[in-house]
Structure 1
Amino acid sequence: MTTERREPAPDADERTMLEGWLEYHRRTLAWKCEGLTDEQLRTASVSPSGLTLMGLVRHMAEVERSWYRRVLAAEDAGPLHYSDEDPDGDFRVTGSDTWQETLATWQAEIEAARRNAEGFPLDEMGRGKHARTGERFSLRWIHTHMIEEYARHNGHADLIRESLDGATGD
């Protein structure tokens, strides 16, 4: 199976453009993980970094959850993989973590994000506040931040994937 990715049309309106680029980057991360075993997805690329593809996907599930459920919709959605004692727990994977479970969790958070953003005005401030800063953010800001977050981590995913099996691509 090959993940389909499409860039938004160059003349799209702002919302379509933002959501199109966000979807493009979500699909890019999925594409970088395609065809690998659970063991490969749990393999760190370069010592001393412990960064793995599965860890990146777990992290992005947390980020989707935080911005679209907590900050945008003010849902009481606790962390999935981290805690106060282990704030980087989303990046830490063990031999018992599976791709099937990781992918299902990430996709569920993406679906919740889409549902919460649907019909929400771009310039309206979210109903919730950021946990650390107490600030509120517009959907426009959240979408833009998420594009940046995925783009940055997709660069990491490129390097990890290449170190695993030599596969490259944008």
Structure 2
Amino acid sequence: MTTDHTAVPERVYPATTTGERQALEQWLEFHRATLAAKCADLTDEQLRTASVPPSDLSLLGLVRHMAEVERGWFRKVLAGEEAEWLYADDKDDDRDMHPTGEDTYAEAYATWQAEIAHARTLAAGHALDDLGAGSHHRTGDLINLRWIYLHMIEEYARHNGHADLLRERIDGSTGA
């Protein structure tokens, strides 16, 4: 079964002469779309394909992970919501990165896109300097929206590098 290619967002390069907030939002959207593009036209089996031993990193795992990351930073830290993790459980804190044969890209993609939509809504109600209602889960630090945007761009950029290598391993596709 292949993915629904109509759902893949268009990758739009960020404008070069915009203000800070628009630049941050555009770069984040660009990186979100890049990960979706890396997963396009692949079967669930291909999306579950791990990189190389001993790593079990896969494109499906990355999409599930980024759904958790969106949820954590925007719902938990920015909005202070008591949102449960989507995939992690008592047995496996990194279950997002460990999809099983039962897990599908359709579910992961829909969940990821729902978290992105909710993140956009939450962020729209805040200025860049606004501190989140929650705190960093490890340090307890309060964090502003600007820092969240910068971290999200870094997180996607790092994982999009992984996605480049995974996609090349799967079908030789490079670029984009």
- TM-score scaled to structure 1, two decimals? 0.97
Q: Does 1:89 align with 2:95?
A: yes
TM superposition shift of 1:119: 3.0
Q: Secondary structure in 2 aligned to 1:127?
A: strand
2:168 to 158, 162, 167: 162
Aligned residues: CA RMSD: 1.1
Q: Does 1:33 align with 2:39?
A: yes
Q: Secondary structure in 2 aligned to 1:43?
A: coil
Q: Percent identity?
A: 62
Distance 1:130 1:101 in 2: 28
Residue-pair matches, total? 170
Distance 1:130 1:33 in 2: 30
What is the CA deviation profile of residues 45-79 of structure 1, one whole-angstrom value per residue up to 9, with x for unaligned ones? 21111000000000000000000000000111111
Q: Secondary structure in 2 aligned to 1:128?
A: strand
TM superposition shift of 1:132: 2.1
Q: Does 1:100 align with 2:110?
A: no
TM superposition shift of 1:22: 0.1
What is the CA deviation profile of residues 10-31 of structure 1, one whole-angstrom value per residue up to 9, with x for unaligned ones? 1110000000000000000000
Q: Which runs of 4+ in 1 moved over 2 A?
A: none
Distance 1:141 1:48 in 2: 33
Distance 1:45 1:165 in 2: 12
TM superposition shift of 1:85: 3.1
Unaligned 5+ runs, structure 1: none
Q: Does 1:15 align with 2:43?
A: no
2:153 is aligned to 147
1:113-132 map, 5 Å: 113-132=119-138
Q: Does 1:59 align with 2:80?
A: no
TM superposition shift of 1:84: 4.0
Distance 2:138 2:25 in 1: 26
Distance 1:109 1:75 in 2: 13
1:43 is aligned to 49
TM superposition shift of 1:3: 4.2
Unaligned 5+ runs, structure 2: none
Aligned amino acid, residue 116 of structure 2: I
Distance 1:81 1:130 in 2: 19
**Structure showing the higher strand proportion among its residues:** 2
